[in-house]
Amino acid sequence: MQMYLISDNIDTYTGMRLAGVEGSVVHDKQELREILNTVMSDKNIGIVLLTEKFGREYPDLINDIKLNHKLPLIVEIPDRHGTGRKPNFITDYVNEAIGLKL
């Protein structure tokens, strides 16, 4: 299984290419939809790395894939500017999931 990067900027793309990960730079929803359809049809791709910006800007598209397809696994990664998540994101997520404060 291979990984594939879909990035919103050339810097993240370049860094991942140096690590041996193929990918694409995408700038709008239509481009994102097209590349996701291409990637989803490639059975060799098991993990899609997606910059967090896409998850924030197009949650309907990303969540649809996450909920309705077993493969590829969609993983949102921070870009060169860092993560857009709060510092205690994981603790808040667990608290929300189980209903207890940790």
Q: What is the residue extent of each domain of the chain?
A: 2-98
Whole-prediction pTM value? 0.76
pLDDT score recorded for residue 35: 94
- Contact in structure between 31 and 37 (CB atoms under 8 Å): no
CATH 3.40.50.10580 corresponds to the domain 2-98: yes
Q: How many CA atoms lie within 13 A of 79 on its CB side?
A: 20
Tens of pLDDT, residues 37-89 = 999 999 999 999 998 888 888 888 888 888 888 889 998 888 666 566 666 65
The pLDDT score that the predictor gives to residue 81 is 61
More confident site: 94 or 72:
72
- Per the structure block, which two tokens stand in for 26? 């995408």
